Amino acid sequence: MRLPSIIALALVIAGCSSDPARTGSPGTHARDIRTGTIQSDGIAEPVPEAPSEMPSADASSLQGDVWHRLRAGLSMDRHLSQPVVREKLAFYARKQEFLDRVAERARPYLFYIAEALQRRNLPAELALLPIVESAYQPFAYSRSRASGIWQFIPGTGKRYGLKQNWWYDGRRDVIESTRAALDYLERLNQEFNGDWLLALAAYNAGEMNVQLAVDQSRKAGRGTDFFSLRLPRETRGYVPSLLAVAELLADAGRYNVHWQPIPNIPYFSIVEIDGQIDMDTAARLARLSRDEFRHLNPGFSQWATDPDGPHRILVPVAAAVEFAQGVAQLPPDERVKWQQHVVRSGDTLGGISRRYHTSVDALRTTNSLRGNLIRVGQVLLIPSGPPAGAGTFTVAATSLPAEPVAAPLAAAAPAGFHTVRPGDTLWDIGRRHGVSPAQLAAWNGLGGQTLLQPGQKLRVSMPESPPRPASLVAAAYVNQLPAASYTVRQGDSLWLISKRFGVSVAQLQEWNRLRHGSVLQPGQTLIVSEPDAATQDV
């Protein structure tokens, strides 16, 4: 992009009452989520067909608070006469701190989701579904391997077009997962003849299970509405939870709760770039901390974006022009650091990946390799990962309950400790006390899938003496490298462990020198991340 064009565009945008247009080079531009236009070299071009995930708001909707907007769009019968709904309502009405944390987490995403619902003419209640699903945590990860604010399991995510690989997980991408969730919910609503409660139950339990419950209830002469069905216990509480949260939004004053205001204007702009970029470089260009940047772009799992796309970055509206200009002016060799490696006798993909702090999958993808076969003299292009200890950009995240649980009475935590509150995660606690989630996990001997319990006391400052090493270092927390080792538990298999730590079975076998068909023993210690080169022969 020529500098005069950039300056001219900046002046045009600066003269507008709002900040709609975002631009860059012909391969780097930002879509405005209000006007539905693309700006390229300062010329506004209409989008041929604005996709459903790029909603556009009219002027009247760009005022006030998103919660007010959603309140006006509530349309479902909340069934307040049902005991289970009243029970959930009383429960959530006591959880003001939880609602405050949810609002803070939802702040970057809620306007976008409200716009998407309006474009599709869907009930505003659906914007509250991530509260029940994930408490609006983009890195939420459940025992059933569901991920993201909409909690897609891998299989359903793939059915609805959510790409999942070493580089990227569309289930965590707020743009893609919102599109997929609304596609799925619309289809379920049609399948259950417009009954939103059955559609929501099917979103939680699966459409086959709900249809079977409907058929059985009809055959037994009972009703076929949600409250007449014999459904799994989780689902019987799931739909009433959503109805209860909707009632709290509809009549907050009656229940003495408060919804922290979220401005009814776009929080982010979507800047489209023409290739891969290092995440730290992108964060620097956006003038965001690494933590802020990853929460806007939670779909990317590694130190750089997926080389095969999506090639788009979310940044705050106010930063979009500067970011797009910065990316446009960035020399290609500074977007992602690449090296070349000439294969020598004895080289393996595993050994090369460890040497350059990358992964076997990344080497295969970058060099279009189908298997592990490489030949002497072959030149491999190496995507340079972070230096040792720098950590991946994201790995997975803490598990969390679908809703807050009642906290037992507990004495105040002593200095240097934190008493877990309903809805707390290691990420929340770490941010509050200025330490990393992995450090908290190490100090407290917590595993990657450990659920925090209200009333539990966690150490949040450096112990006076070094703690004993945990058998499982927290692999599932953002901004850290995967854990070095894992102690096998009863029922574990290489496949389960590989999924837990985001590595392949072949890698686990290579790192631990296991033969095909090896039987794991409880108490056995496995290496679950790429070992340092210095430890290879230990």
d(CA 188, CA 178): 15
Do 228 and 158 lie in a common domain? yes
Do 83 and 177 lie in a common domain? yes
Per the CB < 8 A criterion, the answer to whether 67 and 259 are in contact is: yes
pLDDT tens readout for residues 63-78: 589 999 999 999 999 9
pTM, entire model: 0.62
Write the CB contacts of 292 (distance below 8 Å, at least 6 apart in sequence): 283
Average pLDDT over residues 215-227: 97
In a domain, 195, yes or no: yes
Is a pLDDT exceeding 60 seen at residue 165?
A: yes
Predicted pLDDT of residue 472: 24
Do 305 and 347 lie in a common domain? no
Do 379 and 342 lie in a common domain? yes
End-to-end CA distance of the chain: 52
- Whether omega for the bond prior to residue 414 falls within 30 degrees of 0, making it cis, is no
Of the pLDDT bands very low, low, confident and very high (cuts 50, 70, 90), residue 224 is very high
Cα-Cα-Cα-Cα dihedral of 9, 12, 18, 23, to 10°? -10
Do 100 and 224 lie in a common domain? yes
Is a pLDDT exceeding 70 seen at residue 15?
A: no
User: Which contiguous run of DSSP H or E holds residue 537?
Assistant: none
Do 140 and 244 lie in a common domain? yes
Amino acid at 272: E
Of 471, 478, 474, 510, the C-alpha closest to 494 is 510
Do 154 and 74 lie in a common domain? yes
List the catalytic residue out of 53, 115, 125, 133.
Answer: 133
d(CA 361, CA 365): 6
d(CA 168, CA 482): 16
Do 203 and 233 lie in a common domain? yes
Predicted pLDDT of residue 203: 98
Predicted pLDDT of residue 235: 96
Predicted pLDDT of residue 455: 77
Is a pLDDT exceeding 80 seen at residue 2?
A: no
DSSP-derived 3-state class of residue 340 = strand
In a domain, 458, yes or no: no
Tell me if residue 133 is catalytic: yes
Do 71 and 204 lie in a common domain? yes
> Judging by DSSP bridges, how do beta strands 312-316 and 268-272 pair with one another?
antiparallel
In CATH, what number is assigned to the domain containing residue 205?
A: 1.10.530.10
Is a pLDDT exceeding 50 seen at residue 113?
A: yes
Per the CB < 8 A criterion, the answer to whether 22 and 30 are in contact is: yes
Alpha helices in 336-390 (DSSP H): 349-355, 360-367
Do 228 and 298 lie in a common domain? no
pLDDT tens readout for residues 329-377: 988 778 886 677 889 998 999 888 888 777 788 788 778 788 888 988 8
- Number of structural domains the chain divides into: 4
N residues, the chain? 538
Q: Give the domain extent around 207.
A: 59-250
In CATH, what number is assigned to the domain containing residue 372?
A: 3.10.350.10
In a domain, 241, yes or no: yes
Predicted pLDDT of residue 416: 74
d(CA 313, CA 276): 10
